[in-house]
Amino acid sequence: MLQIKVAEIPIDFTCHDKEFFKKRLMAYRIRDNEEHIDARMTIKSCANEIMVLPKGDTIEKIRALTLAKTEDGRFYYYSINKNKQVVSCTVYDTDYSNVEITQLATRRHSVFSLTDFEYMYTGMAFSNRLAIEGGLVLHASALKYDGKGIAFSAISGTGKSTHAGLWRKYLSDSVSIINDDKPAVRFVGGQPFLYGTPWSGKTDINNNIRAPLTAIVFLERSEQNRIERLNIGDTYYEMANAVARPACDQALGVRLLDSMEKLMKSVPVYRLHCNISRQAVETVYKEIIGRNMP
């Protein structure tokens, strides 16, 4: 078991692919010489040769998942492959303080490995627990500069990581990447902060740091660079697509909407029409930092 702390949440973490997660979680581990902190979440992930579902009653089918409730009041959802085999099952308390993830050890997929699925499932579990605590996870590349946190979001393939990389290119070591794909956001004293998490998409680009969230910028490809602040309608639409949502928990989804609206009232949201150039960085820099780029 690893003891980690992510976005102020102490977690007891047990995994199947120990070597992979040892590296991924290293920066978030609670050291033996640190003061003991009781875990607010437990994640247990394993792979078994035989899958046995908990006893319970089916609630509904949601896309490829079946949601059910155990006899003792916990919930679980599971997926079945084309051969009618149960290949994954996630059991959780209503507040996601205890999450148990099991996969079929012989599971095969054309794209993802068991470790890939384990990485995604544990990330979703963390996202749900964070939502319970009033935070959320953004699909964004987030950086820290001049004491400010900025999140760049876009649909996959648009270039959010590329744009964040341009800040590193032109502003060098004064820029720190918080998380390249899935930073956490939570409120501290009423102010939203960006946090690094070990779940960062295809890359391992993340740091165990935080910064006050100053702006959220949605990217759109364009030959010309310009930035505009979004109205409430466009902001709501973009944020709804950028916030990680639970797969099978409508009540938590409503709670996330409340957190999202709170965030929208606290932080300006922009759309950046941009190409891949220094000028693209300068356009954002002047608007958000409030001065010309050095």
Q: What is the DSSP string of 178-189?
A: EESS--EEEEET
For 224-269, the three-class secondary structure string (H helix, E strand, C coil) is CCEEEECCHHHHHHHHHHHECCCCCCHHHHHHHHHHHHHHHHHCCE
Q: Which two tokens stand for residue 142?
A: 């987030």
pLDDT score, position 215: 98
User: Where does the chain hold its CATH 3.90.228.20 domain(s)?
Assistant: 136-288
Cβ neighbourhood burial of 147 (10 Å; 0-12, 13-18, 19+): exposed
Place of tokens 């149960």: 86
What radius of gyration, in Å, describes the C-alpha atoms of the chain?
20
pLDDT score, position 39: 94
Q: Rounded to the nearest 5 degrees, what angle is found at the Cα of 266, between the Cα atoms of 148 and 221? A: 65
DSSP at 61? E
**What does 139-179 look like in DSSP terms, one character per residue?**
SSEEEEETTEEEEEE-STTSSHHHHHHHHHHHHGGGEEEEE
| Cβ atoms of residues 121 and 88 within 8 Å | yes
Tens-place pLDDT, residues 263-274 = 999 999 999 999
Place of tokens 């050095």: 294
CATH: 3.10.310.10, 3.90.228.20, 3.40.50.300, 3.50.50.60. Which one for 136-288? Answer: 3.90.228.20
Pairwise CA distance, residues 272 & 218, whole Å: 6
| Cβ atoms of residues 8 and 1 within 8 Å | no
DSSP at 131? H
**pTM for this model (two decimals):** 0.95
| Cβ atoms of residues 173 and 146 within 8 Å | no
Nearest to 37 by CA among 55, 11, 58, 19: 11
pLDDT score, position 35: 66
Tell me the three state secondary structure of residue 116.
Answer: helix
Sign of CA dihedral 134, 250, 116, 164: negative
- Collect the ranges in the chain with pLDDT lower than 70: 32-36
Residue 235 makes CB contacts below 8 A (sequence gap 6+) with: 264, 269
DSSP at 43? E
Find residue 276's DSSP bridge partners.
none
pLDDT score, position 156: 75
First to last CA, the chain: 46
Q: Which two tokens stand for residue 200?
A: 């960062």
pLDDT score, position 76: 97
pLDDT score, position 203: 85
